[in-house]
Amino acid sequence: MTRINRDAVIAIFLLLVCGVFFWASFDIRQPDYGTLKPSTWPRVILVVLALLSLIYLVQSLARGPEPAHEDISDRPHGLHGRLSHWRNVLWCFGLFVLYLSTMPILGMLIGGICFVFLLLCALGGWQPRQLALHAVIAGVAVGGMWSVFTYGLGVILPTGVIFSAF
């Protein structure tokens, strides 16, 4: 019998979590007003997450088992080796802390665009063509999300010091 890889185990765990959350969505209180049940959107999101987890499971099972053992000599040694090994993770957390700490000043729109742009540049490169692409992706993704929440759903997002005057 062949062993399954770690990705398959995580995909199975995610499917179980989606199932438990979907089951828990039946306990959401139903108010007497409104036409749309409060449990509708959580269930839609959970179905999408379960579908993505199922795709993840199929791909991980198709890939097959992992190699038996990781060679210890391949691991980075020393502080510099560990920092270079975990560079992308440190960039993500560092930029997210910076984004959260500048939220009162920049607001969600400007801060979010800057966060996504800098994160894309840190992970994807700093060449001029990539900078333009990263700027477009950051502007469209964060601007679109901001527009949906602000105008479509009526959610009041942090404006920051810059936009609070308007």
DSSP 106-150: HHHHHHHHHHHHHHHHHHH---HHHHHHHHHHHHHHHHHHHHIII
Encode pLDDT of 2-41 as tens digits: 678 889 999 999 999 999 999 999 998 888 777 778 888 8
Host H or E run for residue 84: helix 78-85
Question: Given a cut of 70, is residue 126 above it in pLDDT?
Answer: yes
Tell me the pLDDT tens digit for each residue of 51-88.
999 999 999 999 877 766 665 566 677 888 888 888 99
